[in-house]
């Protein structure tokens, strides 16, 4: 099983709403990532969890709150978002180890978020 799943596929939310994005993998990967991708742009890294601990936060606004409840699951909690936060949110996972650079990141299909 080399699949990363993300739910929901699409999400429309108002600026006062609270919602969550979910990501799951069962490949035994111990690193999980959240990316934000605008149209025709590369993914921008937001957060990295390594062994269920937050290892990288790319200065993301606090209205985005990540959570890694266990090694298979990654959530992104959203609150008081702005219209400019509308984007495709990608989750990815990879192995962690000595040869870190070689490990492929497996991407999910993404959640397309629209903030109204």
Partner 1 sequence: AQTVTQSQPEMSVQEAETVTLSCTYDTSESNYYLFWYKQPPSRQMILVIRQEAYKQQNATENRFSVNFQKAAKSFSLKISDSQLGDTAMYFCAFRPNFGNEKLTFGTGTRLTIIP
| Interface mask toward partner 1 for 21-50; x: CB under 8 A | ----------x-x------xxxx-x--x-x
Q: How far apart are CA 87 and CA 41, in angstroms?
A: 10
Does an H or E element contain 81, and which? none
Give min distance, CB of 41 to partner 1, in A.
7
93 upstream amide cis, omega within 30 of 0: no
1 in contact with partner 1 (CB under 8 A): no
Given the complex with partner 1, which of 5 and 82 has the nearer CB atom? Answer: 5
Show contacts with partner 1 in window 94-113 (CB under 8 A).
94, 96, 99-102, 104-105, 107-110
| Of 59, 60, 50, 63, nearest in space to 94 by CA | 50
Give min distance, CB of 79 to partner 1, in A.
26
Q: How far apart are CA 44 and CA 61, in angstroms?
A: 14
Show contacts with partner 1 in window 51-70 (CB under 8 A).
55-56
**Sign of the CA dihedral 89, 91, 92, 98?**
positive
Q: Which two tokens stand for residue 21?
A: 């994005």
Binding site for partner 1 (CB under 8 A): 4, 31, 33, 40-43, 45, 48, 50, 55-56, 90, 94, 96, 99-102, 104-105, 107-110
């Amino acid at each position: 099983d080399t699949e990363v799943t993300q739910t929901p596929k699409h999400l429309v939310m108002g600026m006062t709403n609270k919602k969550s994005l979910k990501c799951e993998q069962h490949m035994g990967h111990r690193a999980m990532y959240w990316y934000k991708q605008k149209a025709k742009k590369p993914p921008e890294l937001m957060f990295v969890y390594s062994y269920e601990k937050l290892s990288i936060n790319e200065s993301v606004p606090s209205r985005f709150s990540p959570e890694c409840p266990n090694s298979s699951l990654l959530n992104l909690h959203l609150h008081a978002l702005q219209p400019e936060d509308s984007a495709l949110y990608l989750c990815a996972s990879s192995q962690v180890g000595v040869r870190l650079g070689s490990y492929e990141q497996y991407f999910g299909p993404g959640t397309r978020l629209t903030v109204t």
